[in-house]
Structures are given as C-alpha cells and as structure tokens.
Structure 1
C-alpha cells in the first residue's frame, strides 16, 4: 500500500506547523520530577497515548470522516444515528473537543497548534474544506489534522494513526532536549510503543462515524494539572 506523500508530510516533525514549540506536557512533568529518565519517560508516553492520545485520535478520525463527506457531496449523512452536518458539524466537533479538555491551558495549546497547522496545510494544499475549519479564529489541532488528512487523500484510520503517532513523538523529542537523554534510546522507547500506537489508532478510528458526543472522553488529570502549572511558569522552553 502506497501512502500519499501529503499524508507523510503531515506526520513529519519538520512540517512548519509549530509542533516543535510544544512538549505535550513533558516539560512541566519533568519540572515536577515525574519524568527524569528513560523508564519514567516511557511510562509518561504510555499514559499520554492511552488518554489524551486516544481522545485526539478519535477527534481527528471524526473530523476526517466529516471532511470526506463534505468533499464527496454526501454532507447530509452524518454517520451512525444521524446528527449534525455541514458547518454545524464543525461547530459541534469544536465544542466536543473543548469539553474533553478541562484545562484552559490545554485548550489554548490545542488551538494554537491548530492555527499553526491550518496555516501550513493551506499553504501546501489549499481546499474549501480547510476554509470551513478555518471559520474558527483558532480551530483545535485534532480537527485541523483530520481535515488535512482528508484533503491529502487519507482515511479516518490514517488520521487516527497520524494523531496517535504525534501524541508520543512530540513529548519524546522534547525529552531529549530537556533531560539530555540518548536520542537512540528514546527512539527505542518509541519503537517499543509502536504496537500500542497502532492499537489506539485502530480504537479511535472505530469512532469515526459515531455521533460527536459518543467519542472517547478519557480523562488525564495529571496532564491537566501540568498544563496549568506550566502556564504559570516564568521560565520555560516550550509553550506547553
């Protein structure tokens, strides 16, 4: 199976979408002493993938499914059980994303990354469906990612994979910079987590056609607390 090159670009850490400025909660976790070495990093990534990673992947899959329906002219069908469609669906997905991020700081980070990603994908692959997402001043990152995957010719399952992959690679990269860990050892930790990434992506993709309110809402209280603490830190390397 050959993946579209545009889809590969979305998963590339060199995409100029500002991802390098966010640690996914790793910086405040390291500052609190919760992540200090490779084993604690692996535990952090595992927990993040199973919580915030699953939520984001499911939102991306749902956004990709809606964007694909829009592009195919089947906007009136909103998946299992009916539900909102058209612009209303984006509004509902945006609200459901907010509801799954109790931390204002986390919502702020998601919207900042979404705005940056939207600017990047509009520059490479402009499409009317991206304009629909862009009606929000700062759309959430998972929604922009899902729409971008659809524009790139990808499926909801692939949107979930890209999202789940990014849920751990961003923090892992930050750990190398913050903790001075061996990059090869960190990459090995990522490789060990690969089956879990695939499993989370597959689970998330199964919600692509569900009603927005039925999407996973797994909580991650520690990440929420870290996000709020990080926002109040005077000296920090990452935005989140």
Structure 2
C-alpha cells in the first residue's frame, strides 16, 4: 500500500513582480488586495500562530501576585495600552513603513530614503532660487545618495530595522521585557521568513540580529499589505486578548466576562493606533514608561513557580 506523500510548503512567485515579492493569500507581492490584507490581518491576530504567544500573560501574572485583582484588569489593560503597548505599536508601525519600500507599497521607500526625504523640501526651495547649474549639481548629489540605497536595498532596510529595534530597546528599561521580546521576535521572524521566504524584506529581517517582536510584526505587516494603523491595532488587540486569556487560567471566571474586557477597550485600542499608526521614523516612537510593570517583569523572570513566561 503506497504511503501518503510528504506535505510540502509551496512557494508561488507573483506574476512578473520579480524576486522581491511573493504571492500570499490575497494576491500579489505582499498581500495585494484589500480582501487579502484582511485575511492576513486576522491570521496575524490569531493566538494559534506558532509564535510562542501562548506562554505570555502580558505581565498579568506578576501583576496579580502584587495585588491586581480581576476587577482591576480592565484598568490594567488600558494602562498597558497607554504605555508599553503604545511604544511597541509605534516601533512596529515604523518598521512596517520602512519594509513597505521593498514590498512594492505606496510608501516612500526603504530606510535609506528617509534621510533624503527629510531634506527634500530644502532641495526644492534651493532649485527655485538657484540657476540651472546648481540644480543639476543638487540632482547629481541626490542620485548618488539614492544609488547607495538602491545598490543594496536589503542592507539599507536591515540597517533601518536595527535602528527601530534599538529605539524600542532604549524605551524599555526592563532587561526581562527586552529578552522576552527577543524570544517572541524569533517566533514571528520564523513565521515571516517561512510565509514569505523569497521576499527582500524577509532577507533584511534575517540580517537583523535578535529582532524584537515589534520589528518582526512590522515586517509581517508590510508583507501582508497592512497599513500602519492596522499593525498598531493588531499589537493593541493582541495585548488585550493576551491579558484576558491569561486571566482565565490565573483566576478562572466566566469567559464571556473576559471577552467583554477586550470589547470594552476597543475604543482605547483605536485611539492608540491612531496616535502611532502613521509614524515613519524611529525618533518619533513614544517613550511612555510603566515602572511597576517593568519591575514586576524583573521579579517574575526569577520566580521559580510560575504559569507564564512573562
């Protein structure tokens, strides 16, 4: 009796789009149509993804050890959305913006173009006032700078993603939270490079040493065709849902109540996403600290009897 064939992952390049794109659920390179983006958004928000998210409580376990009750959980979720989640969502939005340049989106382009973009207004003004020779010189210099990026777009994006990663780390005091973000980042990076193995953005992500979750999700969002607001909303929803799911294991209650917590912060998630979803440079990522959450994370990291990793 013949054995069943080995299952395989089929890579399907998008039509004529070149090596840097990859046909996913919704169409051409990086997600394509709106319907595909919505499906991939739901996929990335699914707790069943093989990213290790089931090991997380979003800090609820150490918080409850330190006196936070079930009645306090909705306020705890809102506090996170205004602080640590806003920082991570902002970093993810910037990473998505940078990666979109290699995915064929309508964004400005890869990381190296950002620095040139800051001075574009001055170049235009100078062109109006200068003669034709000066304009030609300015154009020549611009072409040379752009050439540095176009010669190695993967390297330019990897450099930009590292800058975003560094910016997130600088805003996250707790070594335990940074280490945990690396663990989750590894899972998301594996997911991204597995779903889009031939994408240039995936290649750039591979070049980032120990990317944190925000950077990996940002790249995933770009490849899935999501905009910055969707990526930020994804981060916010995931955090709220993680807290609610953890509460069911830490102090069992009616699951409908926990679901109601998530529904109740929908407006907070939208406001957070609106505040950070349009960010395009690492310097603009918010720096909103949550000292108790970070302190509890440090203590939890060395706790021997625990249900969740963080």
TM-score norm. by structure 2 comes to: 0.72
**2:74 is the alignment partner of 1:42:** yes
How many corresponding residue pairs?
A: 235
**1:66 aligned to which of 94, 98, 102:** 98
Q: State whether residues 229 and 277 of structure 2, in contact with CA within 8 Å, keep that contact through their aligned partners in structure 1.
A: yes
**Counterpart in 2 of 1:54?**
86
**Counterpart in 2 of 1:156?**
228
Instruction: Return 5+ residue gaps in structure 2 as ranges.
Output: 1-33, 120-148, 150-155
What's the RMSD between the two structures over aligned residues? Answer: 1.8
Of the two, which has the highest radius of gyration? 2
**2:113 is the alignment partner of 1:77:** yes
Q: State whether residues 49 and 200 of structure 1, in contact with CA within 8 Å, keep that contact through their aligned partners in structure 2.
A: yes
Q: Secondary structure at the match of 2:102?
A: helix
Q: CA deviation at 1:204?
A: 1.0
**Counterpart in 2 of 1:213?**
283
**Counterpart in 1 of 2:167?**
96
Q: CA deviation at 1:155?
A: 1.3
Q: CA deviation at 1:50?
A: 0.9
* Offset from partner CA, 1:215-239 (integer Å, 9 cap, x none): 1010110110011010110111111
Matches within 5 A, 1:1-240: 2=35, 3-34=37-68, 36-37=69-70, 39-72=71-104, 74-75=109-110, 76-78=112-114, 81=118, 85-126=156-197, 127-207=199-279, 209=280, 211-240=281-310
Q: CA deviation at 1:119?
A: 1.1
Q: State whether residues 41 and 224 of structure 2, in contact with CA within 8 Å, keep that contact through their aligned partners in structure 1.
A: yes
Deviates most, 130-139 or 215-224: 130-139
* Offset from partner CA, 1:9-61 (integer Å, 9 cap, x none): 10111111110101111110011122x22x21111111011111111111111
Q: State whether residues 130 and 144 of structure 1, in contact with CA within 8 Å, keep that contact through their aligned partners in structure 2.
A: no
* Offset from partner CA, 1:44-86 (integer Å, 9 cap, x none): 111011111111111111010000013339324217636x953
Deviates most, 67-76 or 23-32: 67-76
Distance in 1, Cα, partners of 2:109 & 2:168: 23
Instruction: Return 5+ residue gaps in structure 1 as ranges.
Output: none
